């Protein structure tokens, strides 16, 4: 599979849409194409030249900066929309752990991860030994999303049960890495966090460069069982640790 990150609102929102293409069939899906003026030209060029056959819009959750471009995209491409129940113009909400395929060789598993929003879904993409997960605002590289519609117990389950159980070599998406590293360093000192900081300083994009295995080392929200963090926050119950870390990050 081929994954193309398309930056949106650079300098202000710093969000990404992802175009994922099946190598043989050229069947393609666009994930969270929230800002049509930046997305449509890319889709138009690649469909016109025969590089892709666009089949589906996929949304990770209903927020405007993820699903807010759907109506406009539909004016130009007639596509089904797979996403959480509250996403604009959604046509299908896949059940937790259900699978679908893209083209000949990409298998997608939908993972329900309610918390940032109740309709948040992460999508685990597998093509042979190539694995990626699109996490929307549930997990960032080095961080997690705010608990707008959920609680610490739900985020603990999403990160440390659902996403943590994916193969360690799975590559997660989504940025905001520099801000997350700044916070991680206040909470914990380890080699993985130092490595992530160095990488984020020298590279604009961190998506695709780290794995779920790395997250377990440098993402403090996935280290709710780390004794050094227990000492800092003053308790060791993982859900309470998750709650305290999020409150600290919200104030940061
Ligand atoms: Zn969001």
Domain contains 57:
yes
Domain contains 164:
no
User: Taking a C-beta distance cutoff of 8 angstroms, is the pair 156, 189 a contact?
Assistant: no
Q: How far is the CA of 123 from the centre of ligand 1 (A)?
A: 15
Pick the range with the lowest mean pLDDT from 71-85, 116-130, 188-202. Answer: 188-202
174 pLDDT more than 70:
no
pLDDT (mean) for 138-153 = 95
Identify the CA nearest to 219 among candidates 152, 153, 139. Answer: 139
Half-sphere exposure of 130 (CA within 13 A, CB side): 12
206 pLDDT more than 80:
no
Q: How far is the CA of 60 from the centre of ligand 1 (A)?
A: 9
The dihedral over CA atoms of 56, 60, 61, 62, expressed in degrees to the nearest 10, equals: -30
Rounded to the nearest integer, the mean pLDDT of the chain is 94
* pLDDT tens-digit readout, 12-55: 777 889 999 999 999 999 999 999 999 999 999 999 999 999 99
pLDDT (mean) for 133-141 = 93
173 pLDDT more than 80:
no
CA 58 distance to own-chain centroid: 12
Identify the CA nearest to 167 among candidates 208, 124, 138, 120. Answer: 124
- Structural domain total, the chain: 1
- Determine the Cα–Cα distance for residues 225 and 202; give it in Å rounded to an integer: 30
- Beta-carbon contacts of 9 under 8 Å, excluding residues fewer than 6 positions away, are 15, 35, 38, 65
Mapped onto helix, strand or coil, the DSSP state of residue 129 is coil
Identify the CA nearest to 20 among candidates 62, 65, 45, 55. Answer: 55
Q: How far is the CA of 51 from the centre of ligand 1 (A)?
A: 30
Q: How far is the CA of 66 from the centre of ligand 1 (A)?
A: 7
pLDDT (mean) for 170-193 = 85
Domain contains 183:
no
Q: How far is the CA of 147 from the centre of ligand 1 (A)?
A: 10
95 pLDDT more than 80:
yes
Domain contains 20:
yes
Domain contains 115:
yes
Containing structural domain, residue 53:
1-137
Domain contains 146:
no
Q: How far is the CA of 6 from the centre of ligand 1 (A)?
A: 17
Q: Which of the residues are catalytic? A: 61, 63, 65-66, 116, 137, 174
- Beta-carbon contacts of 223 under 8 Å, excluding residues fewer than 6 positions away, are 188, 216, 217, 229
Domain contains 86:
yes
- Determine the Cα–Cα distance for residues 236 and 140; give it in Å rounded to an integer: 23
201 pLDDT more than 90:
no
Q: How far is the CA of 155 from the centre of ligand 1 (A)?
A: 14
Residue 214: other Cβ atoms inside 10 A: 20
CATH number at residue 72: 3.60.15.10
């Amino acid at each position: 599979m081929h994954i193309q990150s398309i930056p949106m609102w650079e300098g202000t929102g710093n969000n990404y849409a992802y175009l994922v293409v099946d190598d043989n069939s050229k069947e393609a899906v666009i994930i969270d194409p929230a800002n049509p003026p930046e997305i449509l030209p890319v889709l138009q060029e690649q469909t016109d030249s025969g590089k892709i056959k666009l089949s589906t819009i996929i949304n990770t959750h209903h927020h405007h900066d993820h699903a807010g471009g759907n109506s406009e995209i539909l004016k130009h491409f007639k596509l089904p929309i797979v996403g959480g129940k509250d996403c604009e113009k959604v046509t299908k909400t896949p059940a937790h752990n259900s699978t679908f395929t893209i083209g000949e060789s990409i298998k997608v598993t939908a993972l329900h991860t309610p918390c940032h929003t109740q309709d948040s879904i992460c999508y685990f993409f597998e093509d042979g030994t190539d694995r990626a997960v699109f996490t929307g605002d549930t997990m960032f590289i080095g961080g997690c999303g705010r608990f707008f519609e959920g609680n610490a117990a739900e985020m603990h389950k999403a990160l440390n049960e659902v996403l943590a159980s994916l193969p360690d070599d799975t590559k997660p998406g989504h940025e905001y890495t520099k801000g997350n590293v700044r916070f991680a360093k206040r909470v914990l000192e380890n080699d993985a966090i130092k490595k992530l900081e160095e990488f984020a300083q020298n590279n604009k994009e961190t998506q695709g460069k780290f794995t779920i295995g790395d997250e377990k080392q440098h993402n403090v929200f996935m280290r709710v069982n780390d004794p050094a963090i227990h000492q800092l926050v003053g308790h060791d119950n993982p859900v309470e640790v998750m709650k305290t870390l999020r409150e600290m990050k919200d104030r940061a």
